[in-house]
Chain A
Amino acid sequence: MASQQEGPLTTSIRTTLTELLKPEALEIINDSAKHAHHSAMRGVDSKETHFRVNIVSEAFAGKSTMQRHRLIYGALNKDFEAGLHALSLNTKTPTEVAKASEA
């Protein structure tokens, strides 16, 4: 199971996304343990490979999902080079979150 203490890659992701997007909400969930067995992870010791990121930011306004994901992937390039393997992204604007909670 993922440890309670935040690893260096998690901290790096958090710092980068906070600077880039000034998010209203940012949740980073380390799912690496769930994927540790899969074949692509053979020989990988890192406990920080798979993450879910839920992020709410005004910076996403007017952007398609593809553009939002590219924005994040581009910013996290160095983290992919450092062993980040998979990111599951949930990207919303504050307006979209408000709409979803009304519905």
Chain B
Amino acid sequence: MNFLRSASSLALRPSSHILTRRAALPATSFAVRHLSDSTKKTIEDAITQNKLVVFMKGTPQAPQCGFSRAVMQILTVQGVDMDGALKSFNILADEDLRNGIKEYSSWPTIPQVYINGEFVGGCDIMLNMHQSGDLEKLLLKEGLIEPEAEESPRA
């Protein structure tokens, strides 16, 4: 999947009009440098050491936003081990992380899902991939869910 690979390189090459705006505006949002070295390390350690990381509002047990809740519901329906396989960060409890992850992913909204170190997307993309079957394929490939016996002759 090409777009999974392209996420990190895109983050380094913002389009020219964003660059212009960065220069022109005061520090108010994700487009401006919030990302400290320590926050960057927290993010990089999290996404390299865990197959599935979700940056969300609230916790998997008590999401504080409908979009974060929807992502938890999708992962639950897919059969992900929500206690063992999922690493989540409550960005409401960490302002540095909240701003840092937006800049790191070059993506202005929360939740954000990382699988095997790659930015997969937010709620809309997770929902689209869930409906198309692409999410199941990806989760299977990364060993985050077990194949269902009747649907997978190779199992």
A75 to B2, CA, bound (A): 22
The reply to whether A64 and B3 contact each other, CB–CB distance below 8 Å, is yes
Contact with A along B111-136 (1 / 0, CB 8 A): 00000000001111100100000000
A35 touches B124 (CB 8 A): no
Give the chain A neighbours of B29 by CB distance below 8 A.
77, 80-81
Q: Which of A15-38 contact B (CB under 8 A)?
A: 34-35, 38
How near does chain A come to B106, taking the closest CB pair, in angstroms? 7
Distance of A57 Cα from B10 Cα, bound (Å): 22
Size of interface on A: residues with Cβ below 8 Å to B? 24
Cα–Cα, bound, A69→B106 (Å):
11
- Chain B residues contacting A90 (CB-CB under 8 Å) are 124
Please tell me if the beta carbons of B109 and A86 are within 8 angstroms of each other in the complex: yes
At the interface, yes or no: A89 with Cβ under 8 Å from chain B?
yes
* CB-contact partner of B106 in A34, A35, A70, A89, under 8 A: A70
A88 near B: Cβ within 8 Å?
yes
Complex CA gap A90/B31 in Å reads 23
B79: Cβ under 8 A from any A Cβ: no
Q: Is B86 an interface residue (CB 8 A)?
A: no
A77 contacts B21, CB within 8 Å? yes
Q: Mark A83-101, 1 if CB is under 8 A from B, else 0.
A: 0011111100000000000
Q: Can you report 24 A-B residue pairs in the complex whose CB atoms are below 8 A from each other? A: A35-B66, A38-B57, A38-B64, A38-B65, A39-B64, A39-B92, A40-B57, A40-B65, A65-B124, A65-B125, A66-B6, A69-B121, A69-B124, A69-B125, A70-B106, A73-B108, A74-B14, A77-B18, A77-B29, A78-B25, A80-B30, A85-B109, A88-B67, A90-B124
B interface, CB within 8 angstroms of A? 2-4, 6-7, 10, 14-15, 17-18, 21, 25, 28-31, 57, 64-67, 92, 106-109, 121-125, 128
Contacts A75-B17, A80-B31 known; 19 new A-B pairs at CB < 8 A:
A34-B66, A35-B65, A38-B57, A38-B66, A39-B57, A40-B65, A40-B92, A65-B3, A66-B6, A66-B125, A69-B122, A70-B10, A74-B15, A74-B17, A74-B18, A77-B108, A80-B29, A85-B109, A88-B67
